[in-house]
Chains A and B, each alone.
Chain A
Amino acid sequence: MTDPLLVEAAERVFADTCTHDAIQAAEQEGWAAGIWARAADVGLPWIALEQGGSLVDALAVLRVAGRHAAPIPLAETGVLAGWLLFESGLRVGEGPLTVVPGRPEDTVRIVGDRISGTAHRVPWARAAERVVALVETAGTWKIAVVPGADVAIETRSNLAGEPRDTVTFDVPAQVAPAPPGVDAAALLYRGALTRVMLMAGALERMSRLTIDYTNERVQFGRPVGRFQAVQQHLVQGAQEAVLVGIAADGAARAASRGQGRFEVAAAKLLANRAAYTATRAAHQAHGAMGMTQEYALHHLSRRLWAWRSEYGDDLFWSVRLGDAVARAGPDGLYPAITGGSAVVDV
């Protein structure tokens, strides 16, 4: 189970540091040194890798980070890049890390100890102390790590204004073979799981923000949240938040026992769906105020729209999950729903 003290500590750090102005500034500047320093100070990026720490705890911290739209590479540093380094026996170190997510248009190659080619949509590459890539070379998976200062970076960003840079390598790298089970698919599922946690947090906060706003905003002499038509939006936002929330819990639990592929696929699919339905409800309930930079809703809604496309969009996960469930056959369909990855191979 999750350590409640840890979640509280994370809540304090992000509530203190991820103020409206700090998030706005991070988007302008492409980095939030202050927020990173506070999170690093209490070890939040490396929870999963520390003695006594667990993946479930690290994922719980990500959910808190999602709630506060924390503009730092928390998922990348500990749960993704740090995991690859740790698994292959390479040094994890102390600074911010990033990972090449692996887009179809990437051309990254490893020849000997040299890494070359271009990778796309790399989170916070411009601020990363080191960049980690998982590359297939002659049928085996290798993990390469290079200093961030040694790569060429074209700055790019996602819909939320978070850095998603294009990185071109042409340098010697530290290279290690990936251990069994660490491959592109494993990174994909783990990456999807990080986005599920971030999205679950963002959906919870968005629901709360909408409830509070419609309780304060008065029209026709009463809070707009008292109108049934508006309540419909509040309920829909809450429904999506609890549905994705419980799916995230299930996915984190299953992943901590193995890969939990059914649960991660299902949770990411539901989170992606909620990124449409819940943001639509939240924006409608907020009216024009929600469309401004000065109000916090866009910190959450834009992240949800960005994160849903990372590590597998709707079509990808629905077809993959549907294919697995179809293979279970009509008699295996319900046992697949109740048993998840314990009985069905996604």
Chain B
Amino acid sequence: MRFEPTELTDAELALQEEVREFLATELPRGTFRPGLGMGADRDPTFSRKLAARGWVGMALPRRYGGGDRTAVERFVVVEELLRWGAPVGHHWVADRQTGPVINRFGTEAQKERFLPPICAGELSFSIGMSEPDSGSDLASLKTRATRVEGGWLLNGTKVWTSGAHVNDWFIVLARTSDEADRHEGLSQLLVNLRSSGLRVNPIPFLDGTAHFNEVVLTDVFVPDELVLGQVGMGWAQNTSELAYERGGPERWLSTYLVVEYFVREHAGDPMGERAEALLGEAAAQWWALRQLSLSVARQIDRSESPAAESALVKEMGTRFEQDVLNGVRRLVDLEPSLESTSTFERLLSSATLTAPSFTIRGGTSEILRSVAARGLRP
């Protein structure tokens, strides 16, 4: 396992400054409801504004509307958006993983059809991996695509599908054939979330929000031209998609704003030794986790596959997100409420309710430790 130290170049630092100025101008504090990392609000208008600056799909090729930028440049932009609490929900999945996966495995026609609207901040995607009986053991999934004239008929159920009720498409991982090795015979299919035969059932989240869904697929027809990459190669393609999903700044910034608003609203002058100690420890961890995460982005830019490294960072980063939240909570004496008029108290409340999901979404900590441990073997 390797984490080469790296620094931002002058051009990358200039981009960081550009994003900071954009956010301060377009989305000043007090004019919007800041959210918690990638769980922030969705705002298609904001997504289109970002896209107009070239900051959605920026690592995709220019000929499909992308920016030919690097993973590190995308990191610089995304990091600023997340720590600002900007409403990234609309374009988040498409920008982070669907766009890159279509670019890597898709046909020319698929790239021409999907990548330009992704890069414009218009087309939104959900993730179609988990099923009621297949979570961590994803290869046991039961959704099946059956061969028919000109395409496939899709039957099965996907769960924990964030945004399925509002997004446009999702990539469904489904079984297309039965093979001795269950990792074979799986395929990825691009499915319109408004297809006939597709039903979206809301699954209310424990904090009262409505973004979680079950998606039931009954004889949903998917034409051949919407099979992503090769039939039967779904597992390998899906694994590469997961590498984009782990190791980024969204894995250690989810509770950053709780701390920033603690400093904004609760820090007395002087602050007190316990609060200073917490702030010092958090700053040190953010600083170092960020270096690791940047190092992973550089590896992606060198066309390496830092799967074990990403898993290691995500497991550590998400645990830290929870720890720093609890650390802040221990500094204050209040009864948290989502209805509070204080942004700090609202963020603290919301984070308290949603924090358990940080170490589950995108691969549980237990699975990530197995992935990382394989990378450590002598």
Contacts and interface: CB of A to CB of B under 8 A. Distances in A.
Given A246-B288, A338-B290, A318 B277 contact: yes
Contacts of B260: 330, 333-334
Interface stretch (A65-73, A165-173, A320-328): A320-328
Interface in B264-316: 264, 267, 271, 273, 275-281, 283-292, 295, 312, 315-316
Contact of A266 (B79, B283, B316): B283
A184 interface: no
Contacts of A337: 283, 286-287, 290
B309 to A, nearest CB: 8
B30 interface: no
A228 B5 contact: no
Contacts of A323: 271, 276, 280
Contact of A246 (B263, B267, B275, B295): B295
Of B83, B276, B316, most buried by chain A (CB within 10 Å of CB) is B276
B283 A246 contact: no
A330 to B, nearest CB: 4
A334 B256 contact: yes
A253 B5 contact: yes
B60 to A, nearest CB: 25
Interface string A306-346: 00000000010111111111100110011111101000000
A196 B312 CA distance: 22
A105 to B, nearest CB: 22
Contacts of A319: 273, 276-277, 280
A326 B373 contact: no
Nearest to A327: B271
B280 A318 contact: yes
Contacts, number: 138
B283 A228 contact: no
A249 B291 CA distance: 10
B378 interface: yes
A243 to B, nearest CB: 5
Interface string B41-84: 00000000000000000000000000000000000000100010
Contact of A247 (B1, B7, B291): B291
Interface in A237-255: 238-239, 242-247, 249-250, 253
Of A239, A270, A324, most buried by chain B (CB within 10 Å of CB) is A239
A206 B120 CA distance: 49
A239 B372 CA distance: 10
A232 interface: yes
Contacts of B271: 322-323, 326
A326 B276 contact: yes
Contacts of A244: 288
A242 B284 contact: no
A145 interface: no
B376 A235 contact: yes
Nearest to A249: B5
B281 A318 contact: yes
- Dominant SS among interface residues on chain A: helix
Of A235, A247, A317, most buried by chain B (CB within 10 Å of CB) is A235
Contact of B369 (A231, A315, A330): A231
A267 B291 CA distance: 12
Nearest to A239: B316
A104 to B, nearest CB: 18
A242 B280 contact: no
B376 A326 contact: no
Given A231-B369, A265-B284, A322-B278, A330 B263 contact: yes
Contacts of A234: 373, 376
Nearest to A215: B378
B205 interface: no
B260 to A, nearest CB: 5
B71 to A, nearest CB: 17
Of A212, A262, A323, A337, most buried by chain B (CB within 10 Å of CB) is A337
A324 B263 CA distance: 13
A282 B264 CA distance: 40
A329 B267 CA distance: 9
Contacts of A215: 377-378
Contacts of A270: 284-285, 288
Contacts of A325: 279-280, 283
A321 B377 CA distance: 36
A272 to B, nearest CB: 10
Contacts of A225: 373, 377
A321 B373 contact: no
A315 B281 contact: no
Contacts of B366: 228
Nearest to B259: A333
Given A231-B369, A333-B259, A269 B3 contact: no
B261 interface: yes
A271 B275 CA distance: 21
Given A238-B1, A273-B281, A322-B275, 9 more contacts: A211-B376, A242-B3, A246-B292, A249-B5, A263-B287, A265-B280, A267-B288, A318-B281, A322-B280
Interface of B: 1, 3, 5, 7, 16, 20, 79, 83, 256, 259-261, 263-264, 267, 271, 273, 275-281, 283-292, 295, 312, 315-316, 366, 369-370, 372-373, 376-378
17 contacts: A215-B378, A235-B373, A238-B372, A239-B312, A239-B315, A246-B5, A247-B291, A250-B288, A265-B280, A266-B284, A270-B284, A318-B277, A319-B273, A321-B280, A322-B280, A330-B263, A340-B287
